Structure 1
Amino acid sequence: MNIKDKSFEQSAKILLGAGLIFAGISHLTFARKAFQAQVPNWVPLKKDDTVIQSGLVEIALGTALIFEPKKYEKTVGKITAGLFTSVFTGNIAQYKNKRSAFGLDTDAKRFGRLLFQPILVYWALKSTGNIK
């Protein structure tokens, strides 16, 4: 990998981390209600508790992506990809139950959101050196 590729990878990782921090803060504040629309009914916690806890996890992972020591980079990337994989069930629940949130007010928009989740998984893995 040349320096140009490494610089792009580092920038992508920082951008992803910043996005996670922003999403986590939004879970705890202005978008809290909207995130509840994504919590599947089978989750055994209250929807608001799930949103708060996932927001804290996103802030922690976003911070780790930006500031982790190099020796933990791949591990943090795998955990972040795992988070994106696990919250995919929430995106499916939003689509299946026709819950409008974040401007996703049609089946087509909610379905389109489903297609974005694998990109986030790839981004987390690629930007942390798990995928060459």
Structure 2
Amino acid sequence: MISGSAAVQDRELYQQILGLKSPWTVSEVSLSLEQQQVDVFVEHPGGTKFCCPECDQSLPCYDHTAERQWRHLDSCQFKTILHASIPRVDCPTHGVKQVNVPWAQKGSRFTILFERFAVEVLLATQNVKGAMGILR
């Protein structure tokens, strides 16, 4: 973990890199030189309302899922992993539902940007093994 003003700068940098908008913010950035990995932790302020994924009704947060991880595009040749606990809402019509997050499709283990890049790499290499090597 990075501390002080460097930590604030890192959080702001990854806020921009990930294109996160309110209410989502980067709360922590952790670098592991040994694993060659950057871990980016994302959260939202308490009291934030979210929309039911079925009907778009704005509702208070009911609870959160266990922390999930998504693979993002590499940062300076380091594997970048996004971490967040996804809010759930209790919709009067549809029941308890996990909200949609802006960085990934429902159920995906990859960010939208990583998925788009992976498709481009597959198209360019025309070879799954070659694409796997590039994507690590």
TM-score (norm 2): 0.25
Q: Which has the higher strand share?
A: 2
Q: Which has the higher helix share?
A: 1
Larger Rg: 2
Higher RCO structure (Cα 8 Å, ≥6 apart): 1
